[in-house]
């Protein structure tokens, strides 16, 4: 098959995917220019500054830098059911800010991916922070952040964090998957 025929078929497949997405309740994204290197660099910087503020308990600083999409999802490092954007009330956000105190924060970029509508950051967050009234301790997390462009603004659509920065055995992973903490 010729290169041009493969390109036409690939483009048709992409257009069909966009049409299907729109027909099942997902907005078909408008074709836009890819995220620039400056967009990605700014999201990396904003993510680090926002989460550093949150580790200090500075909700205002966090909120000045991060806005959520309406369909935001949070998969907490403590496990449990995902939190939806509609659950992120002012009261819940204020409680979250009280949960973290006196923290320091560093962010290590593992990888960044960008397209016209989405930027994904895979990072290691290293914080030393008082969490939930516990004494300050190290809380390294593996984190995936998904930003989606809405108009001219990049908004956080998804955050998934887990504390498995250090490797664990298959047996330990299996026990955690079964809900066994010991």
pLDDT tens digits for 54-83? 999 999 999 999 999 999 999 999 888 999
Closest CA to 54 of 139, 122, 135: 139
In order along its 182 residues, the chain shows pLDDT tens digits of 444 333 333 333 443 333 434 445 555 555 567 888 999 999 999 999 999 999 999 999 999 999 999 999 999 998 889 999 888 899 998 988 899 999 999 999 999 999 999 999 999 999 999 999 999 999 999 999 999 999 999 999 999 999 988 898 899 889 988 888 77
| pTM of structure | 0.78
Rounded to whole angstroms, what are the CA distances from 104 to 13, 42, 89, 98? 47, 21, 25, 15
Count of C-beta atoms within a 10 Å radius of residue 64: 13
Query: Can you name the CATH fold of 33-177?
Result: Nuclear Transport Factor 2; Chain: A, (3.10.450)
DSSP string, 47-84: HHHHHHHHHTT-HHHHHHH--EEEEEEEE-TT-SSPEE
Closest CA to 75 of 126, 4, 146, 22: 146
Cβ-in-10-Å burial (0-12, 13-18, 19+) of 162 comes to: middle
* pLDDT at residue 27 in the model: 58
Residue that the structure tokens 């580790």 belong to: 55
């Amino acid at each position: 098959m010729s290169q041009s025929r493969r390109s036409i078929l690939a483009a048709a497949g992409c257009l069909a995917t966009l049409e299907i997405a729109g027909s099942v309740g997902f907005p078909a994204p408008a074709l836009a220019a890819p995220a620039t290197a400056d967009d990605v660099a700014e999201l990396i910087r904003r993510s680090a500054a926002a989460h550093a503020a949150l580790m200090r308990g500075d909700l205002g600083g966090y909120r000045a830098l991060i806005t959520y999409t309406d369909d935001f999802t949070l998969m907490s490092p403590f496990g449990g059911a995902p939190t939806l954007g509609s659950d992120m009330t002012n009261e819940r956000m204020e409680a979250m800010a009280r949960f973290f105190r006196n923290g320091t924060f560093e962010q290590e970029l593992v990888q960044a991916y960008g397209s016209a509508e989405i930027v994904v950051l895979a990072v290691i967050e290293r914080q030393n922070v008082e969490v939930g009234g516990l004494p300050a301790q190290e809380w390294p997390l593996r984190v995936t952040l998904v930003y989606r462009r809405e108009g001219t603004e990049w908004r956080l659509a998804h955050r998934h964090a887990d504390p498995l920065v250090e490797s664990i055995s298959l047996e330990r992973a299996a026990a955690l998957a079964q809900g066994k903490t010991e």
